[in-house]
Amino acid sequence: MSTQEIINNYYNYVNASDWDSWLSLFDDNVVMDEQLAGHLTGIQTLRNAVGGLEKGYSKFLMYPQQTVVEGNQACVIWQCEAANANGVPINAKGANYFRVENDKITYMSNFHDTRPFDPFVNQKLN
């Protein structure tokens, strides 16, 4: 797959809540710097984080607004439309940076204002 195809699949899988296919896009030794979750390493850590997404969001959609691909790197400006587990809406804008090697995402980081995600971060889950 090309870098562009991997990036397109990333957002398609997120928006379909197809987390198994989403995880298949990442290298086993992926490194991620995620604004809310911090520094994550390895596919198993990322797999564990999916449980938090499934439990903490009743809706989670990411709409790419602009994508720039250069070789094995990509940057996507996105808009997120989500809701926490209790349905409190979340609307945010931000950017993801990706590095792809051997048809897998090996590094990803995101950048956004954390304030719009307060309904997710501050909710009480059982």
| Residue 37 pLDDT grade (very low, low, confident, very high; cuts 50, 70, 90) | confident
> Does residue 30 fall inside a structural domain?
yes
> Does residue 64 fall inside a structural domain?
yes
> Does residue 70 fall inside a structural domain?
yes
Residue 66: pLDDT over 90: yes
The position carrying tokens 């850590």 is 45
> Does residue 90 fall inside a structural domain?
yes
Distance, in Å, from the CA atom of 42 to the CA atom of 65, rounded to the nearest integer, reads 28
Residues linked to residue 111 through DSSP beta bridges, in sequence order:
95
**pLDDT tens-digit series, residues 41-52:** 999 999 998 988
Mean pLDDT of 77-101: 97
| Residue 57 pLDDT grade (very low, low, confident, very high; cuts 50, 70, 90) | very high
Compute the half-sphere exposure of residue 62: CA atoms within 13 Å on the CB side of its CA: 22
Q: Give the CATH number for residue 35.
A: 3.10.450.50
> Does residue 63 fall inside a structural domain?
yes
For 75, the domain range is 3-121
> Does residue 73 fall inside a structural domain?
yes
- Give this prediction's pTM: 0.92
pLDDT at 81: 97
- As a whole number of Å, the CA-based R_g of the chain is 14
> Does residue 53 fall inside a structural domain?
yes
Residue 74: pLDDT over 90: yes
> What's the domain count of the chain?
1
Helix (H, G, I), strand (E, B) or coil at 66: strand
**Least confident window among 5-19, 22-36, 87-101, 107-121:** 107-121
> Does residue 126 fall inside a structural domain?
no
Distances (CA, A) of 47 to 21, 25, 41: 11, 12, 11
Cα–chain center distance at 36: 11
Mean pLDDT of 90-115: 96
